[in-house]
Amino acid sequence: MQLKTDLYIDGAWVKGDGTLPVTDPSTGSVIAEVATAGEAHCDAAVTAAHNAFKTWSKTAPRVRSEILRKAFELMIAEADHLAKIVSMENGKVFSDAKGEITYAAEFFRWFAEEAVRTPGDYRQAPSGDKRILVTHQPIGVSLLITPWNFPAAMATRKIGPALAAGCTVILKPASETPLTALAIIEILERAGVPKGVVNFILPSKTGPMISKMLHDPRVRNLSFTGSTEVGRTLLKESADNVLRTSMELGGNAPFVVLDDANIDDAVAGAMLAKMRNGGAACTAANRFIVAKSVAEEFTTKFAKAMGALKLAPGLEDGAQLGASVSIKERNKIADLVSAAVKAGGKLILGGTTPEGAGAFYPATVVTVDKANPILNNEVFGPVAPIVTFDGDAEAIELANSTEYGLISYVYSSDLKRAIKTAEAIESGMVAINRGVISDPAAPFGGVKQSGLGREGGFAGIYEFLETKYIGVEI
């Protein structure tokens, strides 16, 4: 398989100052060595993006739109190849990887369409003798930092709106999954993105080098997706130059099953909400909050569906649950389960780490009480803690008892009751009677410590635009 492994700066593939091994987590073997960037590379990427901004920001929206459209078409045409790269470096099963590539490509299509539709405003001031003109301009050089769990979609969800808005970018992927990002950069190059508009770096020392870039006055915007902990650090770093920031951070999604829910539907939704991406999703249902009267039926049926999943390397035929991204991440999952059991949780399914070099962990269901520590942590794996409640008010209280507020799920056969519950839950997104709601055409983002800003939908392009007011005397 042809893999790009060099840095991409100012329209050229360049060697780094060293290399970083990329591992297949299903086997533990190294699949590629990717170039790492030194300080000079990071500086060159900023210079390239800064220079390219002068012309890219003035390029006709239609031209920007058509390049993004071309990138969408290339991604779809090469979806199988790209999905294999995702599966190899991330561990997720091929069907999940293919789903991610399609989802990722849709951000290029959506923002190709948005590039030519940025609205403005022309109004008479209340005083009558002045006019208010409002327009939007690209912010400038944008640093994009992405996580390992959706190596394709988190990159395109940022690159799409940035390019549509007229910004130039420097992409820094997670060190576990740079190959997918490199494949996307290569597609953008073939789609006709001019030199300097998109740059790729993988710093050899992430913290200090990113910090230096965030203190370079030519960088004006940081778009970050990752953990809340790293997000907080980067917000502090961004404060010195008062950068625009967009923060898509961690989640701890409640999945609320009210007593009138259709349990078969709830189980089908739970399987999607929990197991898409093997549970390694910021949107993954992390706390199953189930009405006492239906808890036994839900737990039995859900554990049966979870137990039927085939745990195998992501590219193996019939695999339904792949490896975690690394042994380190897998061990974090195992530790959270052990702590949950120690605190009184009862294992219904799974909970035993398999032998071998692959970073596998089995589908696990554990019933807990509401004080169990697992409810306070983002698990990021195939683990479903179930806690019960009495009455809708307690369900809402449990759902809100976290610092996170990204997404929540509500199952009920009474739409009015479900909407009332959705309105009372503190999260940026709520799925009613659905296990997946991510959609490039919808605003994605969280409240509380799950982040700032929205990606996708009509809102996404504004993360890369400044609002400018022009006042006119008439």
In 3D space, the residue among 30, 133, 9 whose CA is nearest the CA of residue 470 turns out to be 133
d(CA 411, CA 275): 17
d(CA 138, CA 468): 10
Q: Is 321 helix (H, G, I), strand (E, B) or coil?
A: strand
Helices (H), 166-250: 178-191, 206-214, 228-239
The nearest distance, CB 251 to ligand NAD, in angstroms, is 5
* Interacting positions 116-155 with ligand NAD (CB under 6 A): 145-150, 154
Catalytic (active site) residue 397: no
Q: Phi first, then psi: what are they for 123, rounded to 5°?
A: -140, 155
Q: Which of 38, 226, 405, 440 binds ligand NAD (CB under 6 A)?
A: 226
Kindly tell me which of 147 and 166 has the beta carbon lying closer to ligand NAD: 147
Query: Which residue is nearest to ligand NAD, using beta carbons?
Result: 226
x/- mask, ligand NAD, residues 428-447, rule CB under 6 A, reads ------------------x-
> Is 378 near ligand NAD (CB under 6 A)?
yes
What are the tokens at 48? 């390239």
Active-site annotation holder among 189, 248, 378, 463: 248
> Is 251 near ligand NAD (CB under 6 A)?
yes
The nearest distance, CB 164 to ligand NAD, in angstroms, is 19
The one-letter amino acid code at 383 reads: V
- Asked if 22 and 3 count as a contact pair (C-beta separation under 8 A), the reply is no
Q: Which of 89, 189, 248, 463 binds ligand NAD (CB under 6 A)?
A: 248
Kindly tell me which of 148 and 411 has the beta carbon lying closer to ligand NAD: 148
What are the tokens at 77? 């045409």
Catalytic (active site) residue 282: yes
> Is 207 near ligand NAD (CB under 6 A)?
yes
The nearest distance, CB 247 to ligand NAD, in angstroms, is 8
- Asked if 451 and 116 count as a contact pair (C-beta separation under 8 A), the reply is no
- Asked if 352 and 340 count as a contact pair (C-beta separation under 8 A), the reply is no
Taking only Cα atoms into account, the Rg of the chain, rounded to an integer number of angstroms, comes to: 23
Kindly tell me which of 74 and 202 has the beta carbon lying closer to ligand NAD: 202
Q: Which of 249, 256, 266, 294 binds ligand NAD (CB under 6 A)?
A: 249
d(CA 213, CA 224): 14
Site residues for ligand NAD per CB under 6 A = 145-150, 154, 172-175, 206-207, 210, 225-227, 230, 233-234, 248-251, 282, 378, 406, 446, 451
Q: Which residues are catalytic?
A: 248, 282
